Amino acid sequence: VTGAMTPDPAVNTHCPYCSLQCGMALRPAPGEGRAEVVEVVERTAFPVNRGALCGKGRTAPAVLSSQVRLTEPLVRRPDTGRLEPATWEEALDRVAEALTGTAQAHGQDAVGVFGGGGLTNEKAYALGKFARVVLGTSQIDYNGRFCMSSAAAAHNKAFGLDRGLPFPLADVARTGCVILVGSNLAETMPPALRYLTELKESGGKLIVIDPRRTRTAEQADLHLAPRPGTDLALALGLLHLVVAEGRVDEEFIARRTNGWPEARAAAMAHWPEMVERITGVPVPELREAMRMFCDAETSMVLTARGPEQQSKGTDTVGAWINLCLATGRAGRPLSGYGCLTGQGNGQGGREHGQKADQLPGYRKLDDPAARAHVAGVWGVDPDTLPGPGRSAYELLDALGGDVRALLLMGSNPVVSAPRAAHIEARLRSLDFMAVADVVLSETAALADVVLPVTQWAEETGTTTNLEGRVILRRTAVTPPPGVRSDLEVLHGLAARLGWEKGFPTDPEEVFDELRRASAGGAADYSGITYRRITEEDGVFWPCPEEPHPGTPRLFLDRFATDDGRARFVPVSHRPAAEEPDAEYPLFLTTGRVLSQYQSGAQTRRVEELNRAAPGPFVQLHPQLAERLGAAEGDPLAVVSRRGRAVAPARISRDIRPDTVFMPFHWAGEGRANALTNPALDPVSRMPEFKVCAVRVERMERA
């Protein structure tokens, strides 16, 4: 039971889950007899999803009234070793004392902060400020590092600015050809599939690149199924063919780019036959893809986690951007490169300062002018701000070493981090951990203090969807009495640590400060207000002043580099950090399924979703199943150098015979991330979630 509805008959808001941030409205559920139970109603006016929702969004209110949600703080008692109910005063006192004590004993960098890509812009901003101003620690990063960092790094290199999609999603339906690389949006964000359907209905072509024949790949005019970890070579092969067949847009290159000769030379070193050997994709299919892409008057490349979650993710995305630039498919209407961000606020979460190397407004933490500007807004001396810290995996790996205490918000790394059993051990080795969450996630269960916080429909705040559209979630339900918002948590902790001011609990007040902090930065929110978002159904950044209309389409006149020209980045193929060998002869790749979301902390608590997707599985090709002597449903042990996971076999011709797939939403023995490889991209520090080497063993049925 969550509390009473506000008086509004229906409140416009947005789904709490993925980066599509579908619009919806909430109203009291009829016939329930309980005003606190709400139902979702369509909100067709919101342009991104036009009323469509997937099952996750439709059932999201179930978590509001879930019997397992947290409604009182928990503190681990030294005598019993168990988490037991406590007052908010006691819980916050305990957190403040532990963080202060750790900093005094071991230095400020001994306190870590870990955030999340689902936090609203206001929370992400406040968390970054809290870490740097109150705690004085450099050790802050967030789980969005695992989501979009490679695409962000490549975007910045090539275009001088990172916004997932530099155009509205609606443009996807109106272009001539889309290459979709490593995205299964039919399951991860189903309402977005309609843009691809409309594309095809208007005569456009869809090329899907994925080692699996997913529900998305089924829609494609052409599906290429490369070996996992070879997307970079595939992009280079296409660019080689573009040059070989005279499809280069020399005029565009001369007018709007730098660095083509080096990128061209790198691509020409990757012969199509060589690319076929590396990727397993036959040359005729490569040629067909290249021609489809170039024959269309306008075309796009969209990437997602497949090519990005690799130890060469930045270079891989760079190779796809090079393809767009060489063919003049960037900085033009209905053409370009874009990244389909994953988490609900995957875009905004990376703009406001919870990333290890960034300050609000997408400013660099090591830029003296950026430090001076943000310090001015915060009312502190820029010299007191710490420098850049460790990336997400490196921070988690340092827990229990020189980082002794952790404050964690909106993340569940026991399930979602690579090499998860090792990370779980690091979390257990901490002197102290406080977790703010809505349920007792697997990570919260390890904490010394658990702080129960409000959920999406119980609070107001902005997120920034995958298009760079800043939207507003509104309070529709009064939260239960025992919970507080994350902003209230940070306010309470800051006050205990000597900061009576500077951490308001009103989201709009925080947003107004965020606007000032972002002013003049790459992600400039200065002209965006709650009023405008409400009236305009979202405003695209950059929006440097209130009369400014916002910027749905970037780069049409100039790129965001110093000279306004896009930069080719020469890249070359290299293998995955871990390739199959005699001991571990198969590829493992991981991903999501339709009815669960990320670490499953919320969606695993929804009965309808659990019925649809009750647990993990191992997808494998019939040839492999036959070699193993495995039948459908047989328990299989998947073993990598880092761990082991057990799940039933799901036999399908939709996967390569050399590859197995596991969804990563579950903990326990089916935890896919127990297997994954934390090899990091040297630029983005993205772990290589999407490919590692495993062996599979058939187990006896119980």
**What residue ranges bind ligand SF4 (CB under 6 A)?**
15, 17-18, 20-22, 49, 53-54, 56-57, 189-191
Of 164 and 570, the one with the shorter C-beta distance to ligand SF4 is: 164
C-alpha to C-alpha distance for 125 and 487, rounded to whole angstroms: 10
Nearest distance from residue 116's CB to ligand SF4, in Å? 16
Helices (H) and strands (E) counted in the chain, each on its own, are 23, 30
| 680 CB-side CA count, 13 A | 15
Of 529 and 599, the one with the shorter C-beta distance to ligand SF4 is: 599
Nearest distance from residue 198's CB to ligand SF4, in Å? 17
Of 57 and 678, the one with the shorter C-beta distance to ligand SF4 is: 57
C-alpha to C-alpha distance for 299 and 177, rounded to whole angstroms: 5
Of 391 and 412, the one with the shorter C-beta distance to ligand SF4 is: 412
Tell me the CA distances in angstroms from 514 to 193, 374, 443, 490, 527, one per residue in order: 33, 10, 29, 16, 11
User: Would residue 361 be called left, alpha or beta, if left means φ above 0 and alpha means ψ between -120 and 50 degrees?
Assistant: left
Nearest distance from residue 597's CB to ligand SF4, in Å? 6
Nearest distance from residue 252's CB to ligand SF4, in Å? 34
Strands 635-639 and 692-698: antiparallel
Of 40 and 286, the one with the shorter C-beta distance to ligand SF4 is: 40
Of 49 and 309, the one with the shorter C-beta distance to ligand SF4 is: 49
List, as one string, the DSSP characters of 425-457: HHHHT-SEEEEEESB--TTGGG-SEEEEB--GG
Nearest distance from residue 606's CB to ligand SF4, in Å? 12
Nearest distance from residue 183's CB to ligand SF4, in Å? 13
- What's the alpha-carbon Rg for the chain, to the nearest Å? 24
Q: Identify the burial level of 357 via C-beta atoms within 10 angstroms of its C-beta, where 0-12 means exposed, 13-18 middle and 19 or more buried.
A: middle
Tell me the CA distances in angstroms from 141 to 116, 433, 638, 672, one per residue in order: 8, 15, 30, 23
Question: Which two tokens mark 212?
Answer: 């699996």
Nearest distance from residue 369's CB to ligand SF4, in Å? 37
Q: Which residue has the tokens 């060469």?
A: 312
Q: Which residue has the tokens 């979202």?
A: 538
Of 20 and 672, the one with the shorter C-beta distance to ligand SF4 is: 20
Nearest distance from residue 9's CB to ligand SF4, in Å? 22
Of 483 and 606, the one with the shorter C-beta distance to ligand SF4 is: 606
Of 347 and 659, the one with the shorter C-beta distance to ligand SF4 is: 347
User: Would residue 510 be called left, alpha or beta, if left means φ above 0 and alpha means ψ between -120 and 50 degrees?
Assistant: alpha
3-state secondary structure of 141: strand
Nearest distance from residue 182's CB to ligand SF4, in Å? 18
Greatest alpha-carbon pair distance for the chain in Å reads 75
408, amino acid identity: L
Question: Which two tokens mark 175?
Answer: 């272009």
Point out the residue whose Cβ comes nearest to ligand SF4: 57
Of 336, 389, 321, residue with least CA distance to 153: 321
Nearest distance from residue 456's CB to ligand SF4, in Å? 10
Nearest distance from residue 232's CB to ligand SF4, in Å? 28
C-alpha to C-alpha distance for 2 and 40, rounded to whole angstroms: 15
Of 467 and 524, the one with the shorter C-beta distance to ligand SF4 is: 467
Of 197 and 429, the one with the shorter C-beta distance to ligand SF4 is: 197
630, amino acid identity: A
